[in-house]
Structure 1
Amino acid sequence: MDETRIAIGTRIKLAVLCATVFSVFYNVNAWYASTLDYVPSFIFSFEKYMPFMAWTVVPYMTSGALFVAVFFLCNTMQELRTLTKRVLFVSVVAGLFFLIFPLKFSFIKPDSTNTLFNFIFQFIEIVDSPFNEAPSLHIAFAFVFWSVFRNFTPTWRHVSAVWLVLLGLSTLSTYQHHLLDVVTGAILGQLSFIIFPAQRNNFQVRNFHLANYYFLGGWLIVLLSLLVFEFYHASGFILLWPALVLFLMGYTYQKNKVHFLKNNLGTIPWYKKIVYFPYIGVYWLFWKFLRKNKKPIMLIPNLYISSRLDHSEFQNFKGNRNTLVYDLSAELEENKAIIQNCQYHAVPLLDIGAFDTIEIKRIVLEITTHYKELPKDGKILIHCTMGFTRSTFIGILVIKNILSLPLEEALLKIKTTHKDAVIHGYLQDFLKTINI
């Protein structure tokens, strides 16, 4: 089948399949919950302040229409298959939770002064269930819808983003769901992206896969924060700080923002140190206690790779004004001794993420040129944070270019010289695509 042309019958069949699975799980579980003598509710104490906004029933009701429309908005068969898997996954997993942990909504809806809105709410009472609360399918489906809508043109992408946010908020403001349902719905939607990625083996979209893990971690910590607040202490809200940082990191990976922390001088502005303190702190601990190659490894004469060096390690390296340092680390500030005593170059790359081919070629060619022009006491140091992946990757390309080696020989030389080298399969595949 032509990937760019999908038969209308195929779209209809998959839409009907997903609608059927959703309907069966939803209605059977709603019936089961209605037969129970007692179905609990889960409400955070501050939710009583949630305002009822009748007009938001409009975006709330569009979820059903979007559920159908999204199958006709996919551009390729691969996108349609992925959408189908995610919708089925969300429907089945949510259905199992509805069965095992039934919950019901407990707030009483005020009457609206608007006749149309009252009519819609009466319709909801007939077709919707007060049970089947957590995780919210409205939220989980909104996440899945966005995976298709984000491919729209900029104007429509922004419009759809705003509408989906309104749809999500409407689950609370129409008194259809509690906050627990919303957060768990977001977790479920995020899980669907991780379990069913759009393009599993495409290096160019690797950052999106990594971003999903950061987003999932953010939602899990939001849930933990709320639970700590409710059952232990108000200090639980401090956990929203690392949650925010995880969301920011997810966005950073999506946009491949390599300069999200450090500037070209290798330093991190004070305000970023405050905002990203949980992230920087964790990376510093990894660097302090988990790195192995604390001594630079010489690949060829006067060319070294390493982790980020501390002050004493740099002194032992004996860098000078003719030492060129290429800092690939995006997470930690550069050692001040290196900035002050060497020719420093900030070329940050995101850890275990996708690399921009043009930028990689530029870095490798620049290092190669400088290497050939080194004075007698000159040397080049390429380092990242831990020294396992990014510096190894660039090191392979540099010695391949300098020595005119086939890729296999360059890889062998690195593995022989650097016993802790980490060359993931996806990086080896990417290396084969780079011609310098």
Structure 2
Amino acid sequence: MTARSIAPIGEWRFDKAVAKRAMLCLLLLAPLFYITYGAANWIASQRSNVANITFAWEHGIPFIAWTIFPYWSINLFYGLSLFLNDTAADVDRLAKRYLTAQVIAVSCFILFPLTFIFQKPPTSGASGFLFDLLGGFDKPFNQAPSLHIALLVIIWTHWRRRLSGVILWVWHVWCTLIGLSVLTTYQHHFIDIPTGMLLGLFALWLFPADAPSPLATFRLTSNARARTIGFRYAMGSLAFLLLMLAGTGSSAASLFLLWPSLALAIVAASYFGSGADVFQKAADGTFSFASRWLLAPYRLGALANSYLWTRKLVPSVLICRGVHLGRLPRRWEQSSFATVIDLTSELAKPSDVGTDWQSFPTLDLLPVSRTDLEKASEAIEYARRKGPVLVCCALGFQRSAAAVGVWLLRHGYAKNAAEAIDLIEAKGRRIHLTEEMITLGEEGVHHG
């Protein structure tokens, strides 16, 4: 991913072409929203028995009439956000995020309708007027995932990248009020919030700001091993989904299983053909906001796996010429190196402590492509002139070992693949490397 500068609010300039594009999108999206949202409400109202998912503690949530103002304000920011863009392409991306959230949410409202059970107290004055206006089209259905929260996640992200200082903190506070208002206006039950957040994150992930959609380059891989791994992750995703469905009737908390189910489904897509792009890892070792949270359950598993396999091993070993091989460093280990060459796609750098971090995202358990091995090899050679270099992956067994092996061959530190492997193993590092992995640099799966 490549970072693109975004004009902050103070430097933003009106552009007629952007404004026309924004107005067109608003004229298309707004009617579509009210038509589909209202249709889902009507369909649910025709059913004789609509389910409800509520935690017992929610009965203690107070009704706070004035919070209808932040609740309604999202409608204003919905429209303004379309105009607050630098290019027409930015407008289109935001519109696609809106549309994604809307289509998925409305589909859930129709397929799995839920109802709100608390009674709103009488209201008057300005807040009463807004509640009456809201009641004109919003019925006690359309619950999980909360479309209000999904849009809030999208809009909050859109503005926070353009604000700074005190205004940014005001924005955070106001968005927090908007988020809480879905409870205090008696519009949603609690479970609608995390499911709405998950939907908003998915829309952000599907249409990232600085790269194409991770599914846009999907091509079904012909690599049998990649398909096998993808199938296993898909089965894991299905298992969490079935557990969620089985437990929904007895526990509202079971809906949280949707999070790891979605994360594993996305990882499965990476192995089936989308490649490392799904992780949205930048060259500096950081992740996009959406990827960091959307795939968090998978990353926790990957971190646990890394710890279990390497807990009794030294973090890294010196191979030669200042080049070290090992697992992804901990925060306190990172500063020991001038440069870290990172072959993982699934894990982020632990912290920013001044170490030059260079990422070449690749998929675990698959041969690294020739292109990535050559790029990593050249990065190693260049970086070692500036100080100690750590070449790492999740375990330090294969991907990083392959990069070091290619570097040894390309720069004359080993005569052949067998000698390169022997040199690495002689340093006491456990590796899973074959000669073919570093002599052929097999292409593996499609990487977008």
| TM-score of the pair, normalised by structure 1 | 0.60
- The counterpart of 1:118, out of the listed 106, 116, 128, is 128
Written as runs of structure 1 = structure 2, the 5 A alignment for 1:30-45 is: 30-45=41-56
Structure 1 residue 125: Cα displacement: 1.9
- The counterpart of 1:127, out of the listed 117, 134, 137, is 137
Partner of 1:176: 187
Partner of 1:367: 384
**Is 1:352 aligned to residue 345 of structure 2?**
yes
Cα distance change of structure 1 residues 283 and 11 upon mapping to structure 2, 3 Å threshold: same
RMSD of aligned C-alpha atoms?
A: 5.3
- Following the alignment from structure 1 to structure 2, what is the Cα–Cα distance between the partners of residues 192 and 166? 22
Partner of 1:209: none
One-letter amino acid of the counterpart of residue 116, structure 2: F
Deviations 1:246-304 (A, max 9, x none): xxxxxx9789678xxxxxxxxxxxxxxxxx9866423234x46xxxxxxxxxxxxxxxx
One-letter amino acid of the counterpart of residue 106, structure 2: G
Cα distance change of structure 1 residues 197 and 51 upon mapping to structure 2, 3 Å threshold: same
Q: Secondary structure at the match of 1:326?
A: strand
Structure 1 residue 59: Cα displacement: 0.9
Partner of 2:159: 149
- Following the alignment from structure 1 to structure 2, what is the Cα–Cα distance between the partners of residues 194 and 39? 32
Partner of 2:90: 79
- Following the alignment from structure 1 to structure 2, what is the Cα–Cα distance between the partners of residues 309 and 324? 23
Cα distance change of structure 1 residues 103 and 370 upon mapping to structure 2, 3 Å threshold: closer
Query: Percent of aligned pairs with the same residue?
Result: 27
Larger Rg: 1
Structure 2 unmatched ranges of 5 or more = 1-5, 7-12, 215-235, 262-279, 287-298, 359-377, 414-434
- The counterpart of 1:281, out of the listed 301, 304, 308, is 304
8 Å CA contact 2:82, 2:91 repeated in 1: yes
- The counterpart of 2:438, out of the listed 417, 420, 425, is 417
Instruction: Give the count of matched residue pairs.
Output: 337
Q: Secondary structure at the match of 1:124?
A: helix
Structure 1 residue 57: Cα displacement: 1.6
Written as runs of structure 1 = structure 2, the 5 A alignment for 1:190-205 is: 190-201=201-212
8 Å CA contact 2:53, 2:252 repeated in 1: no
**Is 1:137 aligned to residue 140 of structure 2?**
no
- The counterpart of 2:328, out of the listed 301, 313, 330, is 330
- Following the alignment from structure 2 to structure 1, what is the Cα–Cα distance between the partners of residues 121 and 322? 69
- The counterpart of 1:23, out of the listed 22, 34, 38, is 34
Cα distance change of structure 1 residues 227 and 11 upon mapping to structure 2, 3 Å threshold: same
- Following the alignment from structure 1 to structure 2, what is the Cα–Cα distance between the partners of residues 32 and 17? 23
Partner of 1:11: 22
Deviations 1:39-88 (A, max 9, x none): 22221222212222222222111111111111111222222111111111
Structure 1 residue 167: Cα displacement: 0.9
Cα distance change of structure 1 residues 29 and 369 upon mapping to structure 2, 3 Å threshold: closer
One-letter amino acid of the counterpart of residue 166, structure 1: L
- Following the alignment from structure 1 to structure 2, what is the Cα–Cα distance between the partners of residues 133 and 233? 13
Partner of 1:92: 103
Cα distance change of structure 1 residues 350 and 169 upon mapping to structure 2, 3 Å threshold: farther
Written as runs of structure 1 = structure 2, the 5 A alignment for 1:391-430 is: 392-393=402-403, 417=438
Deviations 1:143-194 (A, max 9, x none): 1112321321313433323222221111112111011211221121112123
8 Å CA contact 1:43, 1:180 repeated in 2: yes
Cα distance change of structure 1 residues 325 and 400 upon mapping to structure 2, 3 Å threshold: closer
- Following the alignment from structure 2 to structure 1, what is the Cα–Cα distance between the partners of residues 406 and 319? 25
Structure 1 residue 109: Cα displacement: 1.9
Cα distance change of structure 1 residues 116 and 278 upon mapping to structure 2, 3 Å threshold: same
Cα distance change of structure 1 residues 198 and 392 upon mapping to structure 2, 3 Å threshold: farther
One-letter amino acid of the counterpart of residue 313, structure 2: D
- Following the alignment from structure 1 to structure 2, what is the Cα–Cα distance between the partners of residues 33 and 162? 34
One-letter amino acid of the counterpart of residue 130, structure 1: P
